[in-house]
Structure 1
Amino acid sequence: MPSNPDLLTPQQFEQYAAEWQKIASGAGGPALERCFAAPGHGRRTYASLPVQHLVWLVSTVGIVYVRTRFLAIAHDDRPTRFALALFATDAEGKRLSAYYLADAEDEGSALHQLPATQVPHSLVKTWLHNWTAAPAITPALFATGYGPLRGYTFELGDFLEPLFAAQPFGDQTLRVSFGLHEYYPTEGPLTQTFGLVLRIHDPKKLDGSGSSDPFFDMSSPCPPKC
């Protein structure tokens, strides 16, 4: 029997989500930067979830959506860090699963509703580069017309598609990479907004990136789709 995954209690989820809202709604400064700071130098670029935990998540009876929520986790012996909670909901948004924790790894390095599909590698590389090249992490990167970003909502297919590339299941992980979508909104200058990109990472693959599998990122922002 596999070991139990890292699960958050509802109380922990509410606490960490509220802390994220507090930091993302602030005036910026070191608190937001520290959430994404990798030890030593650089910036955290992805969170990860073991493939077996992903299998449990998408196996939830009645699942229609996978919702990701942004967290700011603080412990006495560690600085506050960014993380993700993933959970399954039905079509009405009722939570059906536990809260699975996807921690941001220590390695440094347009908001439209769209159907689930593969994203071209060159486009994703642009988003990922925008994140690593950003001179500073500011609240503006998490701002929308509905308020600060709290997370993203994915169609179930966005998580099932990567699993096809992961068979047979083993040591792979789901990497949720951080990117910046760059676009012109209805008014104002060119804007950058934080987004998530899904990809299976297989440590046994030898192409240098751990994967040649496709990227998926067809999520809807929360708010408004929460």
Structure 2
Amino acid sequence: MAILETKNLCKIYGNKDTKIEALRNLNISINKGEFVAIIGPSGSGKSTILHLLGGIERPNGGTINVNNIDINTLSDKQLAKYRRTEVGVVFQQLNLMPMLNVKENIELPLMMGEENIDQDYINELINTLGLDKRKNHLPSQLSGGQQQRVAIGRALAAKPSIILADEPTGNLDSKTAQEVMELLKMSSKKFNQTLLVITHDENIAKKADRVIHIVDGEIKKLENNI
């Protein structure tokens, strides 16, 4: 059963002479619990897909159905709640708050939304991410891989049904990248979440259940890895 589905999704930036069609009539369907990689060269529209699915930007046309709700019909206030609770986003630039420790950075989306914090779940999450001995450390006191784990924890904190990760291993060495991807895959399975990873790395894509190849804003190929 599809948890996320787009129909004829379009996104245009600029107008007239500066018009860029970032996405053209994109149709994708992702099932609950599935791990899907979207792969393509720089400028192919990968990050645009993530921004639209995450409710960070609005499309120029088409629909985005998440749990049978078209998020394009949501008000700005409803969309903000959707971003806090329904999807967890791991950005390429981690955007950790330098003055907050590991635990506080992970809890930040819940504090911003004045949500109740399930401390048992947060502690389980911190342990799963291997950060139990670092939870009182500031980001500046962590390695790149540990900072990426904090960003993953923050994305998982609100128990979202969908995790969106934008080049989550882009700034990491190959060994740490491997560890982070295994962690993302393991945590999404453990907490029964759908995982969508944007990447240009074929090795990362091979770990997914399914791969969607994007070129110039259009799907060029679909692959099943199972």
Q: Indicate the TM-score class for this superposition, using the shorter chain for normalisation.
A: under 0.3
Give the TM-score, by structure 2 length. 0.26
Higher relative contact order by CA 8 Å / sep ≥ 6: 1 or 2? 2
